[in-house]
Amino acid sequence: MSLTDVAIKNARPRDKAYRITDGAGMYLEITPSGGKHWRLKYRFSGKEKRLALGSYPLVSLKDARRRRDDARRLLANGIDPGVERRIQKAAAVARSANSFEVVAREWFARQAPTWARSHADKVIARLENDVFPWLGGRPIADISAPDVLAVLRRVEKRGALDTAHRVHQNCGQVFRYAIATGRASRDVSADLRGALAPAQHTHFAAITQPQEVAELLRALDGFQGTFVVQCALRLGPLLFVRPGELRTAHWRDFDLEGAQWRYNVSKTRTDHLVPLSTQAVSILSDLHALTGHRQFVFPGRDVRKPMSGAAVNAALRRLGYDTKTEITGHGFRAMARTILHEQLRFPCEVIEHQLAHRVADNLGTAYNRTKFIDDRVRMMQVWADYLDKLKAGSPVAAVDAR
């Protein structure tokens, strides 16, 4: 007789496992511990075999019968359902191993060591927040262009158009890595070129007029926050390095007696040398008394970590400056580049090398940290003296510092 739900519920465990049958080879096995497991007994190639169909009550009587019937259809077509199940499990494991997230994290692990930490953090955050929740678990070879577009539209819809373009770029990089490693046949994100509205790129806000720079410098000197942030504000215009490089600076890289700072540029992965003016050395010497025993020149609240990346811009806002339209920590670079060339007449190639930009001369010489070093040492001191004159209210007429 066929089983009923009542009979199954009333089946009690015994000292030994026993079976109650439902027909067509299916039975329910009740173990001494009370477990109830569906089994199918069948023969294939003259051998008797067993196939597990699940456990009750997770698999109901109705579902167990459906699984039994599916297995019997395979048998009718000459397929061993036990072997077929192992094949399907292996395929599922393979698909999981080649999911978008698995491939993306593998690509990221290979690329991240060559990137600046801040850039790597942004890339993985975009993938984790905007891509993995929707595409992460899917086999990368099965993802289509419309699937990727749906992800981009979600980002675009919240008004983050620039982020949408960067997500598109990162997806393309992952797909191309999947192609190179034999897990995808093409980059479907390439089909989406032009699908997003163009991003409006803007430059970092910067003050480049000498009179306004003078006001800014006086405001920086009047900052009432912590001494560490105050020093970072005062050094920003003097050194005009990238904000991330300044806030994560290590004392081991400074030679205050030799008036030099040597470090590895985060963006170009090249060694860089910053000549220190007497004004910069003075600020650093004062700061060394407070943080010199620490790893970072500008430690954060947790002294084991550097100052927050938002600290300088937050300080500028406290001083009344709009960091979207007037000045940012990065804007000190544009300020120096503009005035050093237009007001102090320093050659562009000298300025660009001090900015740690990749500059090839007419002989194709690659960037190196000591190129134009004598000119750069002189330029950094002239620049610091010029800023002092501006701050003191001295005339700001153009000066030929060549």
Q: What is the DSSP letter of 201?
A: -
**Beta carbons of 312 and 220 less than 8 angstroms apart:** no
Provide the angle, in degrees to the nearest 10, between the axes of the packed helices 210-221 and 331-342.
Answer: 130
**Catalytic sites, residue numbers:** 242, 267, 330, 333, 357, 367
What distances in angstroms separate CA 258 from CA 106, 130, 162, one per listed residue? Answer: 43, 48, 43
Q: What is the b/e burial string over 95-130, where b = at least 16 CB atoms within 10 angstroms of the residue's CB?
A: beebbbbbbbbebbeeeeeebbeeeeeebbebbeeb
Comparing CA positions, the residue from 15, 16, 88 lying closest to residue 51 is: 88
Report the alpha-carbon distance of residue 340 to residue 350 in Å, rounded: 10
Comparing CA positions, the residue from 47, 24, 48, 27 lying closest to residue 37 is: 27
Collapsing DSSP to helix, strand or coil, 229 comes out as helix
Report the alpha-carbon distance of residue 353 to residue 374 in Å, rounded: 12
Cβ neighbours, 10 Å, residue 154: 16
Collapsing DSSP to helix, strand or coil, 287 comes out as helix
Comparing CA positions, the residue from 92, 93, 163 lying closest to residue 131 is: 163
Comparing CA positions, the residue from 394, 226, 247 lying closest to residue 329 is: 247
Dihedral of alpha carbons 381, 383, 386, 388, sign: negative
**Beta carbons of 22 and 3 less than 8 angstroms apart:** yes
